[in-house]
Amino acid sequence: MYLSPCLVGSSAFIRDIPTTEDVITWKTCCFAGICCFDVGFTLMFGSLAAKTWRIDKIFQQNSRKQVVTDEKLLCAVFLLVCLEIVILIMWHIHDQSVCYFV
């Protein structure tokens, strides 16, 4: 619960870490900041969507008893985070970052 706001908040500070003119350091910190923000965002809103799905299942159950367990919720959030990581890796492989020094 506390991991996702920490990841989103730390993404702003990670981008400001490098103090040298090394392009590789800048690219790495920039991409790490993007990754922290995206994974934190997915954790936050993925868990919110999973909880909403559970409440929807509770109120829409008919005669049969369907229970959405905590393991199913964690699995759904884990799959969303894994999907986000795969997207980030593909993005990093196919579209390299460009750094501009201002």
Would you state the pLDDT for residue 67?
A: 78
Domain boundaries, the chain: 3-94
* Closest C-alpha to 39, from 5, 73, 90, 64: 5
For residue 85, give the 3-state DSSP assignment. Answer: helix
pLDDT of 8-37, one tens digit each?
777 767 766 666 666 667 777 778 888 888
pLDDT of 67-89, one tens digit each?
788 999 999 999 999 999 999 99
- Give pTM, 2 decimals: 0.76
Cβ–Cβ < 8 Å for 33, 68: no
In angstroms, the Cα distances linking 3 to 35, 40, 84, 94, 95 are: 14, 7, 16, 29, 28
